[in-house]
Every structure is written in C-alpha cells, then in structure tokens.
Amino acid sequence: MALGYQNPFYLKQAQQKQQSLYDGKVLFKKHDPPIVHHSEETLQLAQESRQKMKQLNKEIKPANYTKINHLSRIFVSQMAKSREELYFSNTSKTANVSKPISIPNEEFLDDTTPSVARKFLNEVKSTIVTLKHVVKQRMNLDTHNWSSSAHQEVHKIVKDKIFPIVNQVDARVQNFEIQFLKEAAKFVGDFKSLAKEAGESLAKHKALELEIKRLLRAVVSHDIMSVVQNNSVDETSNLQTELERTKERFENYIIKKENEYAKLWNDWYKNCEECKFDKSSYDKAYSDMQQKIERLQAQLGDLEGKSKDTSCVSDTLNPLSQKLENENVELEF
C-alpha cells in the first residue's frame, strides 16, 4: 500500500484529490495546487524555520576584498627551482631540523607571565641551535664536491655573512636570556610582595567582616531588647489601665451595695420601730386586760362566796368563767 493507506478505497480517493502527489506527469500540466492542512505543530515549525533563516542571514558576513587583495600581494606563485635550490631544499629536509619558532598568538600578546615568555625563549634558542648546526654542516662540506662556481659562491656567502649573523643572534639571545632572568626574578619578587599584600588585605577583610557581624549581632540584640521593653511597657500600661478600670468597677459596686444595705437597714430599723410601737401598745392593752380579768375574778370570787348554793348563779358564772379563760389564753398567745 502507498503512503500507509491500509484500505485501497481511501487510497483511490486520495489519488483523485491530490493527483500531483501520486503522479509526477501531472506536475507538467495545469493542475490545482495541493491542499496543505496546517496544524499548530506545522505552523510552529514554519515559524521556527523562518527565525533560523533570518538569524543565518544576519550571521553571513560580506566578503572582505581588502584582506583578499592584501593576501594576493603577499603570496605569489612559485617559480621553477634551479638545481642548487633543489639541492639545498633536499639537504635541509634530511637534516635534523626542529620545529620553527612559533610566535605567540594574539590572545597571548597581553600575557606577560614567566611561563609564556620562557616557552618562547626556549623555542628561539632551539631554533638558533638548529640553525648553527645546519650552517656548520654546510661549512664542513668539501668544496670539490660542488661542481659549479655557484656552489662555491654560496659557500663563501654562508661563511662570510650568514655564520656571523647567526653568532650575533646567538649572543643577543644569550643577553636577552640574562635580562629575562633578571626581569623574571624581579617579577617573582613583585608577585610575592603583591601576594603578601593580598594576604594581609584578605586578613583585614576577614577581620572587618567579623567586626561587621559582631556589630550586626549587637544592633539586632539591642533592637530585640527595645522591642521587648516597649512591649513590656505597653503590657504594663495596659494592665495598669485594666486594674484601674477593675478598681473603679469594684468601688462603684461597693457603693451600690452600701446604698442597698443602708436602705435595707433603714427599712429594717423602721420595721423594728413599728414593731416596738406595736409591742408597747400590746403590752399596755395586755396589762389593762389583765387588770380587768383580775377585777372580774375578784368579783367572781365574791359571787361564788355569796351564792354557793344557788344553781342559777353557777350556771351563769360557768360560761362567764369559761369565756374569761378563753380570752386570757388568747392574750397570752
């Protein structure tokens, strides 16, 4: 099945709708452009590709024709070498020549550390030693081995001009090494003094940090004590205010109760006075009644003595006596 269609019916429908995708010949004829169903993912990918193309266009720099022209003037085409040049080139290849002097890169030009300078100096010395070895080897060659006057002329030039230059360069390198060692020793001394000053400064800095921490602790503790004192003062003032309010409430309550007790005392005293008045009246009435009873009893005794034999008198006296006794009992209660 083509394009992952498991059902041939759907495949035929797709071929009818998108003929340009399934038949290349349709592309050479007039046809409707294929329908592309955009989704969120395809739109996001298209946006990312546009952004990448814009960044790529910004990164592409135009050609620097000034630099190209300068390089074209420096590097010229090589000409055919003569037999002497070929001979010297072959012998230089067979000689044990060390690697050429490698000038420090631009990124090391500002680096003045002794390690970089020492490395460069060693490379210069090694190159000079190799050059002296090659020159001595050329000087030790016999003249009769050279078949032309050009070789003899070259030998003379090497002996009279190049070899003194090499010796002069060697002497300058030795002088440079001596000066370099002096400068390196001075640099090391300065570096040690700077390291000592840096250590002292670091110690002072640490001491200052400790002092700052101590002062911060003192300030924080003072602030905490101030807050606690202020809170305690506020709480004390609040307690004092609450105590005064409570005291005032108790005083008002006591005054109220005293007034109530005074009122009750006055009422009780008034009632007592009334009771006293009633009791005196009662006592007076009781004494009067007692006197009346005594008089009645005396009269009754006289009557009993006079009429013991008379029944009518007893009959009349018995209810009277009973009545008096009843009244006496009531007065006692």
Please check whether residue 93 lies inside any domain of the structure: no
The number of folded domains in the chain is 3
* Average pLDDT, integer, range 195-218: 86
Residue 98 reports pLDDT greater than 50:
no
Q: How confident is the model at residue 96 (pLDDT cuts 50, 70, 90)?
A: very low
CA neighbours within 13 Å on the CB side: how many for 243? Answer: 6
The residue among 155, 180, 204 that closes a domain is 204
Residue 97 reports pLDDT greater than 80:
no
The residue among 204, 229, 262 that closes a domain is 204
Please check whether residue 75 lies inside any domain of the structure: no
**Window from 13-17, 40-44, 178-182 with minimum mean pLDDT:** 13-17
Residue 218 reports pLDDT greater than 60:
yes
Do 179 and 253 belong together in one domain? no
Q: What is the pLDDT of residue 333?
A: 43
- Residue 82 CA to residue 311 CA, distance in Å, equals 209
End-to-end Cα, the chain, rounded Å: 137
Please check whether residue 246 lies inside any domain of the structure: yes
Q: What is the pLDDT of residue 99?
A: 42
The top-scoring range by mean pLDDT among 17-31, 97-111, 214-228 is: 214-228
Q: Is 108 exposed, middle or buried (0-12, 13-18, 19+ CB in 10 A)?
A: middle
- Residue 214 CA to residue 220 CA, distance in Å, equals 10
Please check whether residue 42 lies inside any domain of the structure: yes
**pLDDT (tens digit, 9 = 90+) per residue, 261-305?**
777 777 777 776 666 556 666 667 667 777 777 777 777 766 666
pTM of the model: 0.26
Residues comprising the chain, all counted: 333
- Residue 305 CA to residue 204 CA, distance in Å, equals 144
SS (H, E, C) 296-330: HHHHHHHHHHHCCCCHHHHHHHHHHHHHHHHHHHH
Do 113 and 169 belong together in one domain? yes
Please state, rounded to an integer, the average pLDDT across all residues of the chain: 68
Buried b / exposed e over 159-170, threshold 16 CB at 10 Å, is eeebbeebeeee
**Window from 15-29, 186-200, 205-219 with minimum mean pLDDT:** 15-29
**pLDDT (tens digit, 9 = 90+) per residue, 77-86?**
555 555 555 5
Location of structure tokens 């814009």: 54
Do 104 and 200 belong together in one domain? yes
- Considering only residues 138 and 250, tell me which one the structure prediction assigns the higher pLDDT: 250
- Residue 108 CA to residue 119 CA, distance in Å, equals 12
Do 199 and 106 belong together in one domain? yes
Q: What is the pLDDT of residue 56?
A: 73
Q: What is the pLDDT of residue 110?
A: 42
Buried b / exposed e over 116-146, threshold 16 CB at 10 Å, is ebeebbebbbebbebbeebbeebeeeeeeeb
Please check whether residue 78 lies inside any domain of the structure: no
Do 106 and 194 belong together in one domain? yes
In the chain, what percentage of residues exceed pLDDT 70? 52
Do 163 and 259 belong together in one domain? no
The residue among 67, 87, 116 that closes a domain is 67
**pLDDT (tens digit, 9 = 90+) per residue, 133-166?**
666 665 555 544 555 666 667 667 767 777 777 7
Task: Give Cα separations from 53 to 31, 50, 60 (angstroms).
Answer: 30, 5, 11
Do 8 and 52 belong together in one domain? yes
- Considering only residues 206 and 149, tell me which one the structure prediction assigns the higher pLDDT: 206
Do 242 and 306 belong together in one domain? yes
Please check whether residue 267 lies inside any domain of the structure: yes
Task: Name every residue whose Cβ is closer than 8 Å to that of residue 138 and which is 6 or more positions away in sequence.
Answer: 155, 158
| Residue numbers of the domain that contains 311 | 237-332
Please check whether residue 74 lies inside any domain of the structure: no
Please check whether residue 111 lies inside any domain of the structure: yes
